[in-house]
Amino acid sequence: MVQISEVKDSQSRERRTAAHTHIKGLGLNEHGIAKNIEGGFVGQADAREACGIIVDLIKSKKMSGKAILIAGPPATGKTALALAISQELGPKVPFCPIVGSELYSAEVKKTSALMENFRRAIGLRIKETKEVYEGEVIELTPEEAENPLGGYGKTVSHVIVGLKTAKGTKSLRLDPSIYESIQKERVTIGDVIYIEANTGAVKRVGRSDAYATEFDLEAEEYVPLPKGEVHKKKEIVQDVTLHDLDVANARPQGGQDVLSMMGQLLKPRKTEITDKLRSEVNKVVSKYIDQGVAELIPGVLFIDEVNMLDMEIFTYLNRALESSIAPIVVLASNRGLTTVRGSDDDIKAPHGCPPDLIDRLLIVRTLPYNQEEIKTIVSKRAALEGSTLTEDALNKVAKHGVTKSLRYALQLLAPAGVLSTSAGRSEITVEDIEECELLFLDSRRSIKVLEENSKFL
C-alpha cells in the first residue's frame, strides 16, 4: 500500500519576508487621523494622513490625471506609502509600480514604455448580460462518426452534455469545437460549468459541493449547485486594463497552419503599440462607457526614483497627464536640488524634476525617524522575521538606525539571527550584533576604508 503523508511547510512560508511584507495599509482611524503604530507604519503621521485624502479622492473618481510626489530622505517609507495606497484602494483598482530606470529599453522607445505603463494603470470594468447554460455536469458523452475525409479513425461529430441545477436538468447537443473547449478546461462529471449561448465559450466554475466529502489528492474549490433553470441570463463582470486591450488588438491572431505558428515563434520581441491603435481603442472604450456597458477605473502608476527620468520623458509625462483617460501618477524621490537628466544646462531643479512638472504636483513630505520610532520599527521587523532581541541588542541596533541608516540596522537582524542560532542562543545578543558589524560594513565605514587605502581597489 502506498503511504501518503502531507508535507506541512506553513512555517517556512510565513518566514519568507520582503522589504515591505509588514505593510497592511495606511493605519488611519475612521476620521482619517493616523494612529501612531498601525498597519505596519510607525510615525509619519502627516504623510499618511495626506495619502489617506488621496485615497478618498481616487475612490470618489475626482483625481484622474493628477500627480503626487512623495519626497524625503532614503529609508523614510516612500515606497511603503505607495504600497499602502494600493492596499487601501483594494485589488479591483489597478496599481502599476515601476522604477524610473525601467523605461529605458532596447526594444521599445522610452515614451512608448511610459505610455504602456500608463495604460496598465487604467482599468475597465465590463458588464455584460449573456445567455448561458449553467449547471453541474451529470453526463458528458462525445458521439463519434466516420471520418468524412476518409482514412482510419473516427471524429467527434457532436457531444451530449447533461447539466443539472436546483430546479431541473437539461441535455444539450453541442458542436465538436465546444467539446475541445471542455477538454481544455478539464471538465469532468461533477463539475459546475457555464456555456455561453452566443459564443460557445466554456468556463469551469469549480467542483460541485456534493462531492466535497470525497477523498481528493488535489486541492479543489467546491461550489454550490446553481439555483434557477439551466438556461438563464447572467451578468458577467470582467476586469481588464487598457494595456490588455492594446495588446489584444496589436497582435492579431494568426492561423493554425505551420507557417503562422513558426512566424509567431520567430517574433519574441515586444510589439510597439502605435498612438493610432491606442486612439482607436479609446474610441471603442468611450462608446462602451456611453452605452453603460463599461465603467472606467483610473488606477495608480507609481514611479520610484523619479530623478532617473530625463527631459524627454518629463515632457511626455506632462502631455500624458492632460489626456482625458489618465491614471493617478505617484512619484517618489529622495533627492534635493539635483540636475535634471537630459537638460541643456546644469541648472539644478528640486527633486530632479523640471519646474513646470513640479507646479503640477501635490508634494507629500516624509521625515527621518527618531531613535524611539526606529526602536519600534526594529522590534516589529524582528518579530516579522521570527527573531527575538535582548533589550541591549535592540538599543544597539536602534542606535545604528540613527547614526548610520535604518536600512543597515534592519539588514543586521537576519545575519545576527543566524549567529545566535548557531551559538545555541534563543535571543540575539549584543555580541551577535557586534560580530555582524565586523563582518558587514555600512556605507560610511566602507567610504572611510577607500579614503584611507587608495590601493584597495
Can you give the CATH number for the domain in which 110 is found? Answer: 3.40.50.300
Q: Cβ–Cβ contacts within 10 Å for residue 316, how many?
A: 19
Residues 136, 268, single domain; the answer is: yes
Domain boundary among 263, 294, 325: 294
Q: 45-49 long-range CB contacts below 8 Å, 24 or more apart?
A: 46/365, 46/367, 47/72, 47/77, 47/81, 47/364, 47/365, 47/366, 47/367, 48/81, 48/84
Residues 116, 127, single domain; the answer is: no
Residues 89, 151, single domain; the answer is: no
Model pLDDT, residue 11: 45
**201 part of a folded domain:** yes
Domain boundary among 321, 350, 365: 365
Residue 427: alpha-carbon gap to chain centroid: 36
Q: Cβ–Cβ contacts within 10 Å for residue 304, how many?
A: 20
Model pLDDT, residue 216: 55
**16 part of a folded domain:** no
Q: What pTM value is reported for the model?
A: 0.70
Model pLDDT, residue 210: 78
**19 part of a folded domain:** no
State the CATH number of the domain containing residue 390: 1.10.8.60
Low-confidence ranges of the chain (pLDDT < 70): 1-17, 64, 106, 147-153, 213-220, 251-272, 455-457
**198 part of a folded domain:** yes
- Could you read off the pLDDT of 379-421 as tens digits, one per residue? 888 888 888 888 998 888 888 888 888 888 888 888 998 898 8
Residues 229, 137, single domain; the answer is: yes
Model pLDDT, residue 332: 92
Residues 359, 433, single domain; the answer is: no
Domain that holds residue 275: 123-294
- Of 100, 132, 169, nearest to 312 by C-alpha is 100
Residues 160, 195, single domain; the answer is: yes
Model pLDDT, residue 182: 85
Domain count, the chain: 3
Residue with cell 516589529: 380
Residues 318, 382, single domain; the answer is: no
Model pLDDT, residue 69: 92
Contact (Cβ atoms closer than 8 angstroms) between residue 320 and residue 118: yes
Residues 116, 139, single domain; the answer is: no
